[in-house]
Amino acid sequence: MPVPRPTSPDLAAAITQALQRARNGEGFKDVLEKLLLELTHESADAFALLLDAGRGAFAPLLEANGGRALFIGDACSGTPVALGHLGFNVLRVDTCALRLAFADLRDASLDHPGQSLLTGTDSRLPFVDDSFDLVVQEEGLPHPALGWGHGMEELWRVCRGELWVSANNRLAYKRSTGMRGQHAKAGALAWMNAALFPRSGERTWAGTRSALRADGVALRSYALYPHSRDFSHVVALDAELPRLTIGPMERKNRLKILAAGAGLFPWLTPSFAIHGSREKAGTQRLDRILAAVAERLDEPTPQVEHVVSTRSNNCLVQTRPHGAQPHALSDLESAPPGYWVLHIPTNPSTERMLRNDADFLRHLQTEHPKLPIPEPLVADRIEGLFLHCERRLSGLAAPQLASEDSVEKNLLMDVALDFSQLVVEPEALMDEARFAELVSPRFQLARSLCGHEGTADALQAMHEDARSSLVGQRMPLVLYHADLRPKHLQVRSNGKVVAYFDWGASERCFLPYLDLLHLIVHLSKGHSTNASEACARVRAGHWLPHERAALDLYSERLGLKCEVRACLERTLPGFMAGMSERNWDYSRPQWVRRQFGLA
């Protein structure tokens, strides 16, 4: 007999406390942040990963624009959030009342609340035939070991439209640990044991397709890579596109390239999803979106090359013209028609940032036309959802390049020159009022959310340092990107910058120098063992020669005083923490202490 999947005791206790805080009048953001602080780092990271709405980044690949959806799985999953934001009326089904209560609490803070239903482990789902336009079963085929008594035939019975089932591969060569970005590769014996004796009814790709096959049903299959709990790419397994992104760094892994060339990817990929449609396969929502955008731009409709679930809960779609070869764009000077990037938000906070990104690109086009940025194309509601479309860039994303000093030097010198032109107030006086407007709220916010007394004291000391060093100084104020890091730069193979993108956190007027410091911290992780060491090196002013050259060039062009530079270097963690907390939908537990080594 199936047994309902339990909630771990520590998480159950934390959710119980969270629900009581909500009954006492606390808002969901505060409730969630306190809940995460009550868990161990590992448990908090796993729960935050489960909550991510990016789990629903597959939704544009469905055929329907909306309708009635049934979600079967952990009620705390972010997938129902994404489905709701993208137009579906979602009913969550779970065997745990506590998880459902927390999901209801979260939904009350959103603009598209769903509904919850507590079910048992019966073999029959409590719905009449053809009740739902979409049925989603997450993290495994129905199986008693996962707490479900129903079988595959029940999913089809209650489905009148589409079915999406994600499952793990019994032949997987690695699996998610539950921690973000961490995957464990199986040894030979463990791999063979999982392949021969799957604990939760896992099947192969072909076996999963076979289990879902039914009369009059069309199937598509996708890899959720690298793992369904923490996937970045949705990759077609029975079609050419969308495909996996393979950059220069990945191409160095000869074993992976050989396995992919031999057709082993569908058989060894850690997890996959099967998408079934009643009758014949219809037109996917994403294809209709591309056709609508093409009509507006008077360009040929392109094809989808990549579908990416970003860490900012954004479904990012890269297109290419029909007939274009893979990697062709990286060799071109500029992108011809049909090369686009579409950003589709999966929750309200991501939509707000994408709208800001679109507004900022238009502002930059007008006020700073020499700054290289993507060409904004469309920012509007199409097929029932908001999307932001821009011209896809030639070249490579900066993280795809090897970390060589010559490459970094070209990159940093370009950034220093380009960002030194973003001055909006050449000789601003940083008086007490301006400091209270621009600086104090960030440090105060970071301090209030850091969750650690020692970290709070360190941030307070930085705040006082910044006040004593900056108040009374004159300095240029600049347009502030706020999240400048390698993944937000497109470059040539030699490191020369093609364009700067992802302006969703940007501000029209802020302090200088910080964007360049922020970028150097992220680049310097390649020269350090961890993030806190990289930040400590920057704060101490232990620069590599090419870093010093870029900082000096930027400072010379803006006339920055040495004491202002030194202060911004010393207090950088407070500015970085404040920026993050201003833009995240909730704070991550004690991340400032771990990231910057502040205790």
CATH number reported for the structural domain that contains residue 544 in this entry = 3.90.1200.10
Tokens, residue 67: 């309708």
4 domain residue, yes or no: no
In what side-by-side order are the strands of the sheet with 396-397? 396-397, 489-491, 497-500
Q: How far apart are the first and last CA of the chain?
A: 50
Task: Please say which residue of 278, 298, 323 terminates a domain.
Answer: 278
Handedness of CA 233, 234, 238, 243 (dihedral sign): negative
Domain check: are 236 and 337 in the same one? no
pLDDT score at 105: 95
CATH code: domain of residue 189: 3.40.50.150
Q: Which helix (H) or strand (E) holds 424?
A: strand 423-429
Task: Mark whether 211 and 356 lie in a shared domain.
Answer: no
Q: Are 72 and 136 in contact (CB under 8 A)?
A: yes
Closest alpha carbon to 442 in 505, 377, 353: 505
Helices and strands, counts by H and E, the chain? 23, 21
Same domain for 575 and 463: yes
Domain count for the chain, please give it. 3
State residue 251's pLDDT score: 62
Q: Give the CATH number, domain containing residue 368.
A: 3.30.200.20
Domain boundary among 278, 311, 329: 278
Residue 136 is assigned to a structural domain of this protein: yes
Q: Are strands 497-500 and 489-491 parallel, antiparallel or unpaired?
A: antiparallel
pLDDT value of residue 248: 60
* C-alpha gyration radius of the chain: 25
**Is residue 266 located within the same domain as residue 335?**
no
Residues 543 and 565 in one domain: yes
Residue 241 class from Cβ within 10 Å (0-12 exposed, 13-18 middle, 19+ buried)? Answer: middle
219 part of a folded domain: yes
Report pLDDT digits (tens) over 224-242: 999 888 889 999 999 999 9
d(CA 12, CA 16): 6
pLDDT for 229 = 87
Residues 320 and 434 in one domain: no
Distances (CA, A) of 287 to 61, 66, 271, 280, 433: 8, 15, 24, 16, 52
Within-domain flag for 8: no
The amino acid sitting at 355 is R
Give the pLDDT of residue 327: 67
CA 238 to the chain's CA centroid: 26
Q: 440 with 305, same domain?
A: no
Same domain, 387 and 403: no
Q: Are residues 473 and 502 in the same domain?
A: yes
Q: Report how far Cα 214 is from the mean position of its chain's Cα atoms.
A: 35
- Shared domain for 245 and 289, answered yes or no, is no
Q: Report if residue 312 sits inside a domain.
A: yes
Gap between the Cα atoms of 490 and 51, Å rounded? 30
How many Å apart are CA 355 and CA 67, to the nearest integer?
A: 25
Residue 592 lies in a domain: yes
Inside any domain, residue 19 = no
Residues 440, 562: one domain?
A: yes
> Are 436 and 387 in the same domain?
no
- Record the pTM: 0.94
Range of the domain at 537: 398-596
Strand partners, 135: 70, 163
Short-list 394, 404, 355, CA closest to 374? 394
Instruction: Beginning with the edge strand found earlier in the chain, give each strand of the sheet holding 423-429 in spatial order.
Output: 423-429, 474-480, 507-510
Is residue 315 included in any domain, yes or no?
yes
| Chosen domain end from 239, 263, 278 | 278
**Dist CA 345 CA 351 (whole Å):** 5
Q: Which two tokens stand for residue 63?
A: 């055929």
What single letter denotes the amino acid at residue 310? T
> Which parts of the chain register pLDDT below 50?
none
